[in-house]
Structure 1
Amino acid sequence: MTIQIFCDFDGTITESDNIVAIMKEFGPPETEEIKNKVLSQEISIREGVSRMFGLLPSSLKEEIVRFLTNKAAIRPGFKEFVQFTKQQDIEFYIVSGGMDFFVYPLLDGLVAEDNVYCNATDFSDFYIHVDWIHPCDEHCENACGLCKPSLLRKLGRKDCLKIVIGDSITDLQAAKAADKVFARDFLMTKCEELGIPYTPFTTFFDVQDELKKLLEVKS
């Protein structure tokens, strides 16, 4: 059995959501209202995140990176989990609604950049501009920003078991398209509301243990 894993970054690999942390530390008060509208699905992820980053001066780039380097904590078991996927020949992709200027540094030495899909950022103007380089395909009309279900369709193979690991609204559409879901926090709540089967997790040791059981059953 071939397994493909599509794993979120903010709030999943890291213990907290980095975009939320950035906005709390550097954003003006209106970013809170925009964030709430995204979570309530009043506005799209693409619109909300574009608006939030569009309120931050580009001059903050290095300060934001230093802030996250000091603050962001990798969830326990992640390094071991990555090694486990390699040992088991499991295809492992990061599909992140985060931004390249902080996702790549935080994953440096853990996951190869070729396996990381995230948004691009432009600092050439006064305010930060987000380039949505992984948009929705013709099957999605949710204005996801980085469209996780579109990436599942692009990277996924018919003969593979597709697993989604995530924590937030940005992972919901991918969870609907997955064969198995590991969820925590807001994604867990949405899965319960919509009747999407899921396995809860706290650390990546939990995910690894469940995958070991799955591999034993399938072998």
Structure 2
Amino acid sequence: MKKFNLKFFCDFDGTVTKNDIWVHSLGRFIKNQEKFKKICDDFSLCLITGRDCIRKELELVEDFDIYTFNKYLDEEELDDNFKVFTEFCEDNNYEIILVSEGLDYYIKYILNKEDINLRYYCNKMIIKNINGKIKLDCEFPYPDEHCNFCGMSKRNIILKHTNDYDNDVSVFIGDGVSDFCAANYADFVFAKKALASYCWKNNITYFEFNNFSDIVKKIEKLVSQNKIKHRQTAKYNRREVFLGG
């Protein structure tokens, strides 16, 4: 029987963390909450791209102070069982890669705070001093050349790190709009909130979860039953991308 290499691709905001850090901590520097909510709602309805959403929201940030931001980040918490999950993966030699439409500054800060060392892909926060005022901007180091809906292409990270011929099996974990595309290319999907709804509506097989202990239990069961395998639709989708389809 084939031995598969499990690789986990995991969203950050609202998945690894209890809160959406962007909304909960960075959002505290936004005074025009009505406009902020409108932008968030437009993105949730796919009326604007992820890049436009990020730029529009950063334009609303006022009186940003890095020390105050750090204090907000110190208050943020991880999913209660995320460290149990990372230990489980380490014990079984499963790779975890974080993929986020969020910003590198707060992801790095929180991982360091929690003493967690994981590879991550995300957008880059830029701090500018314009006429004595601090302004935030964003760069997108991991885009998709054919699609600008997301600033960071989670799909491409899955494709980059999943080799079907080496028996890599991808597991995607997420909760939001920026996870929709990636769910079509992963062999297993763990979803909640908006992503669970998307998978349901689009006939994507998924496992609903509340916290990371649910994921550990399900993976253990799948492994014990020898049910770790490629999802044929996802494998076909990956192949189509590589063939230029």
Query: Normalising by structure 1, what TM-score?
Result: 0.92
Question: Which AA in structure 1 matches 2:93?
Answer: D
Q: Is the 8 A contact 1:5 1:91 kept in 2?
A: yes
Question: Which AA in structure 2 matches 1:19?
Answer: W
Q: Is the 8 A contact 1:82 1:110 kept in 2?
A: no
Between the aligned residues of both structures, percent identity stands at 26
Match of 1:50 in 2: 55
| Cα distance in 2, alignment partners of residues 61 and 99 from structure 1 | 14
- Equivalent positions of 1:57-206 (< 5 A) are 57=62, 59-70=64-75, 72-108=76-112, 109-113=114-118, 115-125=119-129, 126-138=134-146, 141-158=147-164, 159-206=167-214
| Cα distance in 1, alignment partners of residues 67 and 46 from structure 2 | 31
Q: 101-110 or 168-177: which moved more?
A: 101-110
1:58/1:3 CA distance change after superposition, 3 Å: farther
- Cα deviations by residue, 1:53-77 (Å, 9 ceiling, x for unpaired): 122147333322211221x221121
SS in 2 for 1:59: coil
Q: Is the 8 A contact 1:7 1:95 kept in 2?
A: yes
- Cα deviations by residue, 1:134-180 (Å, 9 ceiling, x for unpaired): 11144xx1421011001111222222111000010111111111111
Where does structure 1 differ by over 4 angstroms across 4 or more consecutive aligned residues? Answer: none
Match of 1:9 in 2: 12
Query: What displacement does 1:83 show?
Result: 0.7
1:2/1:137 CA distance change after superposition, 3 Å: farther
Which fold has the larger relative contact order, with Cα–Cα distance below 8 Å and residues 6 or more apart in sequence? 1
Q: 2:28 aligns with which of 25, 33, 44?
A: 25
Residue segments in structure 1 that go unaligned for 5+ positions in a row: none
Residue segments in structure 2 that go unaligned for 5+ positions in a row: 228-245
SS in 2 for 1:123: strand
Q: How many residues align?
A: 215
| Cα distance in 2, alignment partners of residues 122 and 58 from structure 1 | 15
Query: What displacement does 1:24 show?
Result: 4.3
1:22/1:82 CA distance change after superposition, 3 Å: same
1:31/1:6 CA distance change after superposition, 3 Å: same
Larger Rg: 2
| Cα distance in 2, alignment partners of residues 142 and 121 from structure 1 | 18
Q: Please provide the CA RMSD for this pair.
A: 1.7
- Cα deviations by residue, 1:83-123 (Å, 9 ceiling, x for unpaired): 1101111111011111111111111244325x111211110
SS in 2 for 1:119: strand
1:88/1:137 CA distance change after superposition, 3 Å: farther
Q: Is the 8 A contact 2:26 2:69 kept in 1?
A: no
